[in-house]
Structures are given as C-alpha cells and as structure tokens.
Structure 1
Amino acid sequence: MTSLFLTQDSRFILGDIAKILGWIINQIFNFLDSIGIANVGFAIILFTIIVYMLMIPLTYKQQKFSKMSMRMNPEIQAIQKKYKGKQDQASMLKMQDETKAVYAKYGTSPTGTCLPMLIQFPVLLAVYAVVYAIPAYIDKIKMAYYPLVTDLLSTSGGSAFIKGLKSAASFQKRDFALENTIIDVLNKATTAEWESIAAEFPGLSSVVESTQHTLSGFNDFLGLNIVNSPWYTIKESFAEGNYLWIVVALLIPVLAGLSQWFSLKLMPQAAASADGENNEMMQSMKMMNNFMPLMSVYFCAILPVGVGIYWIMSAVVRTIQQLIINKHLSKMDIDEEIKKNIEAYNRKREKNGLPPERLSNVARTSTRNVETTKREITSEERQKAIQDSTEYYSKGTAKPGSLAAKARMVEQYNEKNNKGKNK
C-alpha cells in the first residue's frame, strides 16, 4: 500500500490521473495562498467543484441515457416477452435484431450507463488518493513539515517513537528511516499524538510547536482540524466538556448523509411495470438509495474531516448538476431525438452498403400491445365490447347455455379468426 501515500499513487492509470488531479489542487492551493487564504479545506472545496465540472459531459450522457431508458424499457420488455421461452436460433436472431433496432431508435446501447461510470470510477478513486494524501501533492504543505522531520530522524529514538504512534499502524511495512514515511504518519497524527511527540522530545518542543502551528493554519476548517476525524473530535470534546464542538463535529457526517440522500432523490427513477417484471429491481435500488446516505454518515464520522468535506461537496455539486441537467432534459423533445437517431443509424447503414431501416415502425410493431395497454379502457367501451361479443356468439336458434349453443360459439369464433387471417 506504499503507493497510496506521500510517494504519490503509482498504480496503473490511477497514478497518472492522481498526478493530474494533484497538480490541479496544488495550483488551487497556491492561488489561495497568493490571496491570503492558504487553507486545505477551501482548496478541497474548489478542487471538488473543478473535478465535477470536468466530468459534466459524462454525467450528462449518463442522465440522458437514464431518461431515454425510461421511455425505451417498455419496448425492450415487450420484445423479451414476445420471445420468452423461444430458444431456437431463428427466434433468438429476430429478438436480437428487434432489440438492436430499439436501442438504435433511442440512440443508446446496453452499456450506455456503464461506460460513463467506468470512466468516472478511476477518476473518483484518484480524487480520494489525492485528498487522503494532501502533502504528497501540495508542495507548501509538504515543506511545512521541515525541519521537524529532519530533526526527528537525526534524534536518537525519534524514528522508533513515530513508528509506535497509532497513526503509523497503516505504514508498518514502510521504511521509517525515510522522510516521506515520517510525513505520512505526521499527516495522519491526531492533536494528542503531536503533544506526545513534544513531551517525548523536549529538545524538539519548539520545532514541534512551530510546525503544528503552521499546519493548523493550513488544516483548520471552521474550527475543526481536517486531519482529525469527527469521531475523534467528539470524544475529545466530550472529555473536555466542550459540547459546542461536539455539535460542530457532528455536522460533517450529518451533512454528508443529507446531501447524499438529496442527490439520490434527484436521480431519474424508472416507473413500475404493469406486469411487475422490474419491480424487484426497483425495490433493490430503493434499498440501496436508503443505505448509501447511512454509509456516508458512518464513513464521514470515522475518516478525516478533509475526506468528509470532499464527500459533502461532491454530493452538493452533483445535486446542482442534477437540477440543471433535469431542467434541460425536461425540455428535450424525445420524438425529435428519435428522428435524429434514426437518421444517424441509417447513415451508418448506408456507409456499410446496407439499405435504410424504418426503425420507428419496427419498434412500434414490437410494442403495439404495450402502447395500447397504456390507455385506460372506459366503462362505455367495456360494456359495448361485452354486448358485441354476446350478440355475436348468441346468433342461432340453439338454447342459451346448451351444448349446441357452446358449439355454435366455438364455430363462430373460428370463422371470425379465419376471416382475419385470410384478409
């Protein structure tokens, strides 16, 4: 796990993304420093906003696909129902062709929602790597640990004492003779651990105090040290009887949960199908949407405040993006989009030497039953249908309810259906 800390992330792809994002947050911090606001918390806020602005094209594409899927899914379900239980090759090929036609009609694909997420996922992992190891990417933060780091390494027992700190538990496989390892541990050290260093090495107390003062100026955010977890602050404040800071510390996990919940509520939700085929999936998604905010509360309570700031800001930025995207998509003419998709699909077929395909007709044919079931049948129409059916099957001299009457009904039913087939 050495690649996750001050030596910067060196994992495949993630390391390169983290370097780019690290350069961005370093420039943000330098800018804030130039205007007299050299604060890691504010740097993380601006960093989060910029990262999510860069991902707007992917976010928009994903949300557009979700909206189109809500219109498309009934047609896909109708095709699946049409060929349900048919395992012969001809039926399977027809099912694939009709499904492909519907996807082309809506300009989507089976992987339409997965691809943007696959691209965003490594970016988000790289963001966490940067936020979790700030000194590895912000030069001024790293330099603030000197000359304390040099003095600790040159002092007898200094390296061993740092290795024994609770915050060093994640670094036991590292070389504690390296400056980067010491900085990694000090970056995770709590206020109490900094005080224990000064107590253990009185000769370094002034250097410890000076370093801690510089870093606290960088790390202080609304009175909270972004290196400490809210849970640590709550425990310390409770022991000291400082109940105001307990409330302030609780705001981080609480806001993380609320912002996550509100962001998920704005996500497009698929409607329940009439036959209940996708209702089970909807219930699973609902449970996940309820679970995610609770998970946010837990993680933002035990992780450093800096991670909580990023978590909250990412949810807030996603919410704002979602409101803007939803407003834009609400004005989108889906029929016009379908027309453009059909034209684009036929241009592609033309390049491949294939004739144009009337996708709208293919899709409409495969979903005729779905469309007709969307309209509610009125009571007058239902009564007329019953009356017409009764009159049709009551023609003849047979006594109602007799075997002859039933035979006449079967005969007339077959006549009616054969006429329909011969037309």
Structure 2
Amino acid sequence: MLLTAYSGAILGPIAKVLGWVMNGIYMAMYNLFGIEDVALSIILLTAVIYLCLLPLTIKQQKFSKMTQIMQPEIQAIQNKYKNKKDQASMQAMQQETQLVYEKYGVSPAGSCVQMLIQMPILFALYRVFYNVPAYIVSVKNQFSGLVDTISATSGFQDTMTQIMKDYKLNVSVDFTTTDTSALKNYIVDVLYKLPKSGWENLTDYFSNVGSEVDTLTPHMNKFNYFFGLNVSDTPLNVIKTSFASHAWLILVAALLIPVISYLTQMLNIKLMPQAGSNGNDQMAQQMKTMNLMMPLFSFVMCFTVPVGLGVYWIAGAVCRSVQQLFINKYFQNLDMDDVIRKNQEKAKKKREKMGIAQNQIRDAAKISTKKIDSTAESNKMSSAQKELELEKAAAKKANAKAGSMAAKANMVRDFNEKNSRK
C-alpha cells in the first residue's frame, strides 16, 4: 500500500503517474544538489507538463488563427439564418457551418482537446499535492522513526483523533482499523497536515517523541515549506492561524498566493492572441467572459486548496506566458495560407480514403460571403449538400467491417441485384 494514494478509477492512475514523475524530480534534485523541496519539485513538474503540452498549445492556437480566417463565412451563415428558429433551418445552418470547417480542413472541436487533457491533470495534481508522502517515497521515509514511536504508544488512535479535532484537520483516516500498515499510513497523513504550531505542541500529546520531532523538524522545514508556508495547508487556514499568532509576514505570504495566481493568469491572457469579433459572435463573447472568470476563479479557489496547488497554478501561468512569447514570434513568421493548404491536403486524403470525391466537397463547401441570398429558402438542403451526404453514407457502407449490420445490408442488396438480373 503506497500510503493513502488516491484510488479513483480515472484520476487515480493519472495521479500515480504524476506522482512517479514528481518523485523522480525530487530525488534528482536531492542526489545532484542536496535540495529537499516539494514546492520546487512542483514548479519543475509544471514546467515538464507544459513542455509536453507545447505541441497541443501550438495546434490550438493555429486553430484559433484559422477560426479568424473562417469567421466572415461563418458569420454570413449565421446572419442568413439569424431569425429562423425552426428545426430544418437550424440543421441547415449546422450543415453549412460544418462544410466551412471541412473546406479549411479543421475540426470544430479543435479548441477543446487541450482543455480535455489539462483538466484531468489538474484534478490529479490536486490529489498528489494534497498528500505528497503518498507519492514521494523519500518524504514518507522521513516520518518512519516518529511513526514507529507513536504507533507503539498505548491509545495512540484516540490521541491522533484528538489532534485532528484540535487543529481542524480534514483528513480521511480510520483509526479503528486493525491493519498495522494502514494505521501507520494514517499517522503520516495526519502529521503531514499539521501546521507549524502543531509540530511545536506534538510533545504535549506524545511525551516520548521529543527526539524524533527534533530530528524531523529541520527536514520538514526544507521539504514541506515554501516561503514559510506549509505546502499541504490552505492559504485560508494559514491566514487564520497567522492572524491569531500575529505572524504578519506569514499572513502576507499566504495572501500573496491567490493574488499572484490571479495576476499571472491575467498576464497570460493578455499575451494570448484574441479572436476578433463584431460583437455578435456568441462564441467570442463566451471566450471573453471565460477569460475574465477563470483568473477570478483561481483567485477564490486558491484560498481553499493546498498551497502546493496554488504554486502549481502560478508556475503554470508563468510557463504559459513564457511559451506564449515564443509562440507569438513563431506565428509572426507563419504563412497561414500554407497552413490552410496543408490542412486541405490532409482533409482531402482523409475524404478520398472514405471514397468521397474532392470536387463534391469543393462544390458543397463553396460559400461566397458577398453573394449569400438572405431571402433564399433556408429549410432545404442544397443539391450539393445532399450529394455530399449520400456519398458519405455510400462510402461508410462500402467500407463496412465484416459481420457488421452495414456489411449484412450490402450482402442483401447484392443478392437482390443478382436475382433481379435473372
């Protein structure tokens, strides 16, 4: 049992992989430079994650650039069906919009991929930072001597429960279990969450742990604190305890975590290219709203999540800002006409593989924003569009897998055709 590592079906495996990488970074820093620092490991892990995500980031921003080029045609379609809410008109608008995307060789879901990848990573990192000893072996080993002494003390379960109540620790533990290994893991979980005052008062609960606490405290100050902040504690809790003890510098440091998180994310948004809009584009308006809300969301959330996660958000925003500076220079020298041409070639090969002729796509997707007839019937599909859909359906049937319903339908059709010729 690797301490109380998160065991969720989806996030659990992701958290274990991220924990394994973070453990490798932590051990490399210690072996090469003698540095024990969880917060620095988080920052380096963040840099590694965003370096791996860089190709997706570039792809997403290429999609954004392409969207700006397609925007006049898409807006023309939206204006064409502006006051028509019947189902046929809505379907026709969706089909014509899809054809524009196909013409430029891009997918409407192109901007969602990075978010779908980042969100599970973010939530999994929360689990890692929430209980670092479960993922960094050397951090867990630091607690071994103290845990052995506590677990050998009579009635330690009740004492650990009292410590949790006194310091309002939100830790999922079960001190009623008879599993000795699990009990020791739970002790580590509680000790890791203790604030500085808890460590100072630990001998009041266990009188025989003084030497172990003296041995462990210097290491704790190295690996678990970031500018005086416990990375497993929340800024809100640090602010409360610091205010009560008049530790003003620690209080300011805790307050700076959400503030810096907000500012760095705003900087990142300012550096990102903004899609142009005439004010009527609903998607552009939604993006503007999201750009305003996300930094505010991180500001509020940073008060209630572990300091380590706040450090991750700050490091992530800084990494994205640095990346964006280089990406902006890259796009300044990028020939978008060449990108469109390559996208069209890829889309052409994909369609030809399906058995759809290129000229059919070109005829169906050809939209001239200057010649759109706003009074034309919008509830009927054009002949080119019908032909395109029929070709797609025929291609899918022709490429049907053996044993599938489509393959069986083809067999029946062939049988009927043979009999009709007799």
Report the CA distance between 1:158 and its aligned residue: 1.7
Unaligned runs of 5+ in 1: 371-423
Once the 2 structures are TM-superposed, how far is the Cα of residue 363 of structure 1 from its aligned partner? 5.2
Q: 2:12 aligns with which of 15, 18, 41?
A: 15
Q: What's 1:55 paired with?
A: 53
Q: Is the 8 A contact 2:157 2:175 kept in 1?
A: no
| Among 203, 211, 226, the residue aligned to 1:206 | 211
> 1:191-270 counterparts in 2 under 5 A?
191-270=196-275
Structure 2 counterpart of 1:320: 322
Tell me, in whole angstroms, the C-alpha distance in 1 between the residues paired with 2:176 and 2:366: 67
Q: Distance in 2 between matches of 1:124 and 1:88?
A: 39
Please name the residue that 1:188 is paired with.
193
Establish whether residue 277 from structure 1 lines up as the match of residue 280 from structure 2.
yes
Take 1:120 and 1:356, find their aligned partners in 2: how far apart are those partners? 36
Does the alignment pair 1:27 with 2:24?
yes
Query: What root-mean-square deviation, in Å, do the aligned CA atoms of Structure 1 and Structure 2 show?
Result: 2.9
Residues 199-257 of structure 1 deviation map (CA, whole Å, 9 limit, x = unaligned): 12212222223223322221232333323333444444444444334333333222111
- Structure 2 residue ranges without an equivalent (≥5): 373-422
* Cα drift, residue 93 of structure 1: 7.0
Q: CA distance change for structure 1 residues 65 and 6 in 2, over 3 Å: closer, same or farther?
A: farther
Question: Which amino acid in the other structure matches residue 133 of structure 1?
Answer: N
**Cα 1:175–1:358, aligned 2, differ >3 Å: closer, same or farther?**
farther
CA deviation map 1:359-388 (0-9, x unaligned): 677656342269xxxxxxxxxxxxxxxxxx
**Contact (CA 8 Å) 2:171, 2:189: kept in 1 or not?**
no
For the pair shown, which has the larger CA radius of gyration, 1 or 2? 1
**Paired residue type of 1:53:** L
175 and 103 in structure 1: CA distance in 2 versus 1, 3 angstrom threshold? farther
| Residue 131 (structure 1) aligns with | 129
Relative to structure 1, is the Cα distance of residues 105 and 266 closer, same or farther in structure 2, using a 3 angstrom cutoff?
farther
Distance 1:238 1:307 in 2: 22
Moved more, 300-309 or 127-136: 300-309
Kindly provide the amino acid, as one letter, of the partner of residue 199 in structure 1. D
Are 1:58 and 1:116, in contact at CA under 8 Å, matched by a contact in 2?
yes
Distance 1:29 1:304, change over 3 A: same
Between the aligned partners of 1:50 and 1:294, the Cα distance in structure 2 is 26
Report the count of equivalent residues: 363
Counterpart contact for 1:162–1:168, Cα < 8 Å: no
* AA at the equivalent of 2:109: T
Q: Does the residue aligned with 2:303 lie in a helix, a strand or coil? A: helix
**Is the alpha carbon distance of 1:296 and 1:353 closer, same or farther for their aligned partners in structure 2, counting shifts above 3 Å?**
closer
Q: Indicate the residue corresponding to 1:163 in structure 2.
A: 161
Worse-superposed segment, 199-208 or 310-319? 199-208
Shift of 1:20: 1.5
CA contact (8 A) 1:233 1:249 kept: yes
TM-score normalized by the length of structure 2:
0.77
Moved more, 178-187 or 69-78: 69-78
Give the drift of 1:259: 0.6
Q: Within 1, Cα distance between the matches of 2:155 and 2:87?
A: 76
Contact 2:174-2:186 at 8 Å conserved across structures: no
Amino acid at match of 2:202: I
Q: CA deviation at 1:343?
A: 2.6
- Once the two structures are superposed, what CA deviation does each residue of 1:110-167 show, in whole Å capped at 9, x if it has no partner? 2221233212221222222212221011111001111211222221232212123135
Which whole-Å deviations, capped at 9, do the CAs of 1:308-357 have from their partners, x for residues lacking one? 21121011111112222232223322222222222333333333333223
Call closer, same or farther: CA 1:313–1:92 in 2, change over 3 Å.
Answer: closer
Specify the alignment match of 2:290 in structure 1: 288
Partner of 1:341: 343
Return the alpha-carbon distance in structure 1 between the equivalents of residues 92 and 255 of structure 2: 58
Aligned to 2:150: 152
Distance 2:361 2:343 in 1: 9
Letter aligned with residue 225 of structure 1: N
Aligned position for 2:311: 309
Percent same amino acid at aligned positions?
Answer: 45
